[in-house]
Chains A and B, each alone.
Chain A
Amino acid sequence: GENVEQHPSTLSVQEGDSAVIKCTYSDSASNYFPWYKQELGKRPQLIIDIRSNVGEKKDQRIAVTLNKTAKHFSLHITETQPEDSAVYFCAAQGSARQLTFGSGTQLTVLP
């Protein structure tokens, strides 16, 4: 089955700096890669996603890049703000159709 590894597990940045979270996946048939943000005590919320036929997607301060050859994808957050502090999960949809989640990254934006 699919295996998704996510790094780092914790990340602290100064407000205004950029944050990068990286994930690798194992199933070469995976074709959809969402990123979820989960604030403490709240539901996971989709913040951006990318399909395997696209290399990069951007939405305001958030971008995702995908390298199919290397089987890795990354989340980039620019100009970080305190409200970006949360746990971020990457996921991959493989040949088995269900989403496999990474282990999560606790992002803390320091004021």
Chain B
Amino acid sequence: DTEVTQTPKHLVMGMTNKKSLKCEQHMGHRAMYWYKQKAKKPPELMFVYSYEKLSINESVPSRFSPECPNSSLLNLHLHALQPEDSALYLCASSQDWASVKAKNIQYFGAGTRLSVL
């Protein structure tokens, strides 16, 4: 099973709203990622969690707040977003990000398509 599940599939929110995106995997992976993808562009890395600890924050604005409650779950809390934050938000997981010898096969979820009005 190489399934990464994201909810919701679609989300429309106003600039004053607070919402959360959820991601779940049951492959025993210890690394989880959030990416932002604009139309016809590659995924842009936002955050990396390794063994439930935040390892990378790619200078993401504080209106995006990640959380990793356990090794299977990853959340992205959204608050006071801007219209330019509208995008596809992808979650991914891999077996072990920290190992320099392992190849970092990342499995992606189907994404949450976010529209900020």
Judging by beta carbons under 8 Å apart, are B90 and A99 in contact? no
Q: In this assembly, does A78 line the interface, its C-beta being within 8 Å of a C-beta of chain B?
A: no
A44 nearest CB neighbor, chain B only:
B108
Complex alpha-carbon distance, A32 and B42, angstroms: 18
Pair B110/A104 contact, Cβ less than 8 Å: no
* 18 more CB-based (< 8 A) A-B contacts, given A32-B103, A98-B45, A103-B41: A32-B104, A34-B103, A34-B106, A36-B108, A42-B110, A44-B43, A46-B105, A46-B106, A49-B103, A49-B105, A89-B42, A97-B97, A97-B98, A98-B33, A98-B97, A98-B104, A103-B42, A106-B40
> Which of A43, A45, A102 has the most chain B CB within a 10 Å cutoff?
A43
Q: How large is the interface on B (under 10, 10 to 19, 20 to 34, 35 or more residues)?
A: 20 to 34
Give the residues from 79 to 114 in chain B that come closer than 8 angstroms, CB to CB, to chain A.
Answer: 90, 97-98, 100, 103-111
**Interface of A (DSSP majority class):** strand
**Out of A42, A97, A102, which one reaches B42, CB within 8 Å?**
A102
Q: Which residues of B contact A98 (CB under 8 A)?
A: 33, 45, 48, 56, 97, 104
